[in-house]
Amino acid sequence: SVPCIAAGIPTVIVRDKYSYRFAWLERLCRTYLSDEFSKIDWNPGSIEYEEHKELLLKVTADRINGTDNESDIRKTHEFYMNRERREYIVDAFYSLKRFITETWTDRSFHYEYAVWGLTQMSEITFSYIESNYPNARLMHVYDKYRNLDFQGVVSRLPEDIANNFDEIQ
């Protein structure tokens, strides 16, 4: 859809869920969710934002040339941030969240779990489990590249999983 919008082609965007990755598009055009299909405008006009494109090109050129242009960067930031926001999903976490919800059916059970890889997904997963399964406990953290404390558990090398019989089933 973005190439069509950029080319001035009238575009209708429809999604089942709204991803945070495309939140910036809300500022440029409407995105319809599945419960809004009856409200779709099937004859949208093209989006007029030539002035904004010029600003983006100027900011980009200034950055490449090492020119300080805080004023235009602030304008760009405000353009995208001043919008009505929806509830977003994190696409990569969506299937994991569904798995946890379908598998961990007793929210008060004392689940024990491990995290593989210290990434943003680890943070999102921990936060979701902590919020929805108060008795669940993070037991182990595995990461090939880092040895850090993550939520009170020090990460270990993936090879160490063989020493944790509680995780091998």
Higher per-residue pLDDT: 18 or 67: 67
Please tell me the predicted confidence (pLDDT) of residue 165: 67
pLDDT surpasses 90 at 128: yes
Average pLDDT over residues 88-107: 90
Average pLDDT over residues 7-23: 86
- Show the 3-state SS of the chain: CHHHHHCCCCCCEEECCCEHHHHHHHHCCCEEEHHHHHHCCCCCCCCCCHHHHHHHHHHHHHHHCCCCCHHHHHHHHHHHHCCCCCCCECHHHHHHHHHHHHHCCCCCCCCEEEEECCCHHHHHHHHHHHHHCCCCEEEEEECCCCCCEECCEECECHHHHHHCHHHCC
The pLDDT tens digits for 69-80 are 999 999 999 999
Average pLDDT over residues 75-92: 87
